[in-house]
Structure 1
Amino acid sequence: MKKILLAISLALTLVGCKTTEPLYYYGDYTKAVYSYFKADEVTLEEQINALQLILSAAEAQNKSVAPGFHAHLGMLYFETGNPTLGVQHLETEKSLFPESTQYVDFLLRSVKDA
């Protein structure tokens, strides 16, 4: 009986130790967000370029970017005067993460009212 319990315990321990891959590709996304809030360090164009590089790397590895990524990129495009790409990325955010629809619609209304 003790051997069976030991074997089950060992099996459960081994199963519990399995590592998994992250669900989303982040790259330097957190660094890019930080630089956005420290706007004096990099320009909006540099931030867009950094996010585009992260997006390209994610696509090359066939991985999804994190929730909020496309919304952030879309808002950067709006700030640089490119509403077409801004809307495109906000709509992409909604399609990838339907739970963000209310917030993204709020952002779209906000930029249209501005």
Structure 2
Amino acid sequence: MLMKAALPLAAIALLSGCATKPQALYNYGTYSESYYAYKQDTSAENLLAMQQAILTAIENANDSVSKRVAPGMYANLGYIYFKQGDTKQAVHYFEMEKGLYPESAHFMDRVIEKVRKAEAKGAKS
């Protein structure tokens, strides 16, 4: 009789241990909000706010469970630097995206090639 009563209690205890909330793989910080604000109003102020949100999320990645920067963060940061005219920093962050997420290598290589062509064209002018 005691065994029959213990079995449901053991099952409940076992299942309640599985009810923990899963941890997020990446910490986006305020990136989503800043990205939305930038898409609504593409002002320089919103671009800088998005840039800062990305930099903060990258810095805080070490505090996250996965210790990894979210996919696309370095690429987006590279794009921001490109828009600001800093092609060297843009390529640096595109390379970081490619290194962290090899599946993006083909796309990042094409973007880097276009940045370097734009850079060379600007140097000729």
TM-score (norm 2): 0.70
Instruction: State whether structure 2 residue 37 is matched by structure 1 residue 10.
Output: no
State the match for 1:101 in structure 2: 105
**Residues in 2 aligned to 1:99 and 1:112: alpha-carbon distance in whole angstroms:** 21
Larger Rg: 2
| Aligned equivalent of 2:39, options 22, 37, 41 | 37
Q: Which amino acid aligns with 1:10?
A: I
Percent identity at matched positions? 33
Instruction: State whether structure 2 residue 75 is matched by structure 1 residue 71.
Output: yes
**How large is the Cα RMSD of the aligned pairs?**
2.6
Structure 1 residue ranges (4+ consecutive) displaced by more than 4 angstroms after TM superposition: 1-5
Q: Which amino acid aligns with 1:108?
A: I
Unpaired runs of at least 5, structure 1:
none
Q: Which amino acid aligns with 1:28?
A: T
Inter-CA distance 23–2: structure 2 relative to 1 (3 Å threshold): same
Q: How many residues are aligned here?
A: 113
**Residues in 1 aligned to 2:92 and 2:44: alpha-carbon distance in whole angstroms:** 27
